[in-house]
Chains A and B, each alone.
Chain A
Amino acid sequence: MAQYFLEQARVADFVAHLLASNTVYAPHRKGSRSYAFAKADDPAAVVLDYPRTLSSVKKFFLPPREVLLNFDLTLDAASVPPVEPGNAVFLGVHSYDLAAVRRLDFNFTTGNPERNYLARRDGARFIGVSYVPDKFHFAGSVGIDPYDMTGCDMFLTKHADGWIVDIPTGEGSELAAGFKLEAHDEPKPPRAHFTQHVFVPQARLGKVMEASYDHPVWNETADACLGCGTCNLVCPTCYCFNVQENVDIACTSGQRERSWDGCMLRGFTEVAGGEFFREKVAARQRHRVYRKFKYISDVTGQPWCVGCGRCTASCTAKISIVEIVNRLIRDSERDESILT
C-alpha cells in the first residue's frame, strides 16, 4: 500500500483542508496538562501528539447526557428528539480508542440495536494516529498495537518531524483528495515499548478470573477505593447508563434523560426494599474487573478492556487495574492446574 508523508508544519493545513468540507473532531488541550476531543475550528489548536484524552470518542456516539424523550404533561404525550446525524471525521484517534468503539458497536447492535447510537455512529470516518505509550498504557497486552489501523480511513504514524500517512480505504482517499502529500517509502520506525503489561493473554484470563472470585485483592482494593465511579466514567468501553426525569418549573413539560452511570457507584445495584446486591465495594470492584476481562469476554473471546490506562491514571486512590489483574494471575499460577 502506498504511503505518504505529512510534515508537522503542514498539519494545520491538513486540518484546514479537512474542515473545508467536513465536521472534524480532534484532540485539543484542556486544563493545564490534559487533552480532550472537541470540534475543530482553529486548525492550529489541534494536537496530534498526545498521551490520552480525558474522555474517549465514545462521548460523540453515547453522549454523557442525552435526552431520550421530550414529554408534554398537559397532553400526556412524548416524542423522541431528533438525533443529530453523525457523518463526522474523527481525527487523531488512538488505536485502543477505535478498538473501544468496535466493542461499543457490538453492545449497541447486539440484541436490540439502538437507533440513537447507530445514527450518531453512522458515517463516522476515522483518522488514526500512533502514540508513544506512557506509564499507564498497556494496550499491547490486550492485543492492540499502537500502529493498528483497523477501522481507520487514514492513519498517521509519527516519524521524525512529521507523520507517515497510510490511506487504507476509499473514504480515506476522498478525505485526502486535493491535499498534496509526498510519497514516502521508508519503513515505519519501530514502535515504542509499553512499560505496563498484563502478564497473560485473554485466552487464559477467563480461567484466572474464574479462580479469583474470592481473592483477597477485592477486599484490599476496597480499603483504598473511594467508590467514586471515576474509573467507570472515563472508560471507553463502559456503556451503562442511568435514566432520570426532568420537569420544567411550570410542571407542564420535561425530558427523560440518560447519563453515564457506573457499577462502582453504590446506588447502581439497589433492589427491592432498599437492599443492595453488590453492597460491598469489594464486590463492585470484582464486577468492574470481570466486566472488562470475563463476562462479555467469555462470549466474544475479546477483552473488554483496551489498555488505555484511563482508569488507573484518573483514580485519586491510585488503584491500578493492571496491578489487580497481574496479582490474580500470579496467585492463580501457583495453582498450575488452572493455567495448563
Chain B
Amino acid sequence: MEQQIQQFGAGPRELYLPEMAVITEVRRLTELETLYTVELPGGRDLGHKPGQFVEVSLYGIGEAPFSISSSPTRRGSFELGIRRVGMLTDVLAGYAPGRKIGIRGPFGNGIDVSKFTGKDVLIIAGGIGLVPMRSLINYVLDRRDEFGRLIICYGSRSDSELLFPDELAAWEKDPRTEYHVTVDRGTEAWTGRTGVITTLLPGLALDLPNTVACICGPPVMYRFVVMALRGRGLPDQNVYMSLERRMKCGVGKCGHCQINNTYVCQDGPVYNLPDIAKLREAL
C-alpha cells in the first residue's frame, strides 16, 4: 500500500455526474410496481451484465439504486422495475414517457454468466426479486442452447402482486422452461399453489453438481432458501445470491453498503454463497 498510485489530479472519470436518459415506455405492473423502459442518448447500449444495477437520479429529489431488469441481449434500451416505497419512487411513479432521468452505472459485479454455461440454472425469486432475476432469465432464454435446464421458482405474497403476467404465462407454456409459482395468500381467483417459496424446493428433480442456483428476494427469504437448498444437497459453491443494502454512491466510496468486510456496490450485489456464508451481517 505504501507505493501509492501517485497520479493525483490526473483526470479520472466523473463518478457522480449522471447521464440524462429518457423514459420511453411506462408499464404499470401492479398497484405498487412499474416497469420503465429507458433509453440512453443515441440509443447507446448500457453495456451491463445480468445482476448489475444503475443509480437513478431525479434532480431535486435524490438518487437511488435499481437493478437492471432487462437482459443485455435486448439492445437499444434497458428496463427498470420499480416498487413505490418512498421519496424518490413516489415521484417517479408520476413520470410519463418523455421524462428525463439521470443514470449512473452500470455498477456492481453482476453475474458472471460464463460460469453457468452448460449448467442447469435454478432461479429462486421472491417478490420484487424477480425484477433483477428477469435479466438473467431472458439472457438464458435468448441464448437457450448455451445452458442446460432453466428452472424458475417464483414466490409472491399474493396473486394480485405477481409481476410480468404475460411473461409468466409464456414461461409456463415454454417446453424448455420449468416454471413453478406459489403465493403466500391467494385471492379467490387463485387456483395455483399456496405457501412460502421454500415449499417449491423439495419437489424439484435436480441434477445436483450440474445445477447453479440464483436467489433474490426480501432479506428474510435468504436464510430459509439456503437451508432448503443445503437440505437438497446442493453444494454452497453452486449458490449465488443478490444482496441489497442502502447505497449512496454506488462506486465504493460512501461506506453505506458495507457488510462486514465487503462493499455490496463493488464486490456484489451478486455473491457466491461461500464468500458470504461466514459474514455475520449478511444473511
Chain A interfacial positions (CB closer than 8 Å to B)? 68-69, 71-73, 76-80, 85-86, 102, 105-116, 118-119, 121-124, 150, 213, 239-245, 247, 251, 254, 256, 258, 261, 263, 268-272, 275, 277-278, 283, 287, 290, 294-296, 298-302
Contact = CB atoms under 8 A, between A and B. Distances in A.
Q: Which has the most chain A C-beta neighbours within 10 Å: B12, B218, B260?
A: B12
B260 A111 contact: no
Nearest to A254: B60
Contact of A111 (B1, B7, B252): B252
Interface stretch (B133-141, B166-174, B240-248): B240-248
A108 B9 CA distance: 12
A274 B237 CA distance: 31
Contacts, number: 143
19 contacts: A69-B16, A72-B59, A73-B60, A76-B100, A77-B20, A78-B59, A78-B102, A102-B2, A108-B253, A114-B251, A118-B12, A123-B9, A242-B256, A243-B62, A261-B254, A263-B258, A277-B281, A287-B258, A299-B261
Given A118-B10, A241-B249, A290-B260, 7 more contacts: A78-B102, A115-B14, A240-B255, A241-B255, A242-B254, A272-B219, A295-B258
Contacts of B11: 115
A172 B186 CA distance: 75
A301 B1 contact: yes
B102 to A, nearest CB: 7
A79 B19 CA distance: 10
B15 A78 contact: no
A115 B15 contact: yes
Interface of B: 1-2, 4-5, 7-18, 20, 57, 59-63, 85, 100, 102, 218-219, 244-246, 248-249, 251-256, 258-261, 266, 280-281
A261 B256 CA distance: 9
Contacts of A86: 8-9
B8 A121 contact: yes
Contacts of B12: 112-115, 118
Given A76-B100, A271-B244, A119 B9 contact: yes
Nearest to B63: A243
Contact of A277 (B85, B245, B253, B255): B245
Contacts of B1: 102, 106, 300-302
A80 B14 contact: yes
A71 B13 CA distance: 19
Given A108-B253, A115-B12, A275-B219, A73 B59 contact: yes
A106 B3 CA distance: 10
B260 A295 contact: yes
Contact of A76 (B59, B244, B246, B252): B59
A270 B246 contact: yes
A326 B105 CA distance: 43
Nearest to A242: B248
Contacts of B16: 68-69, 80, 116, 256
B257 to A, nearest CB: 10
Contact of A271 (B60, B246, B248, B253): B246
Contacts of B18: 78
Given A113-B12, A278-B281, A302-B1, A240 B256 contact: yes
Nearest to A252: B60
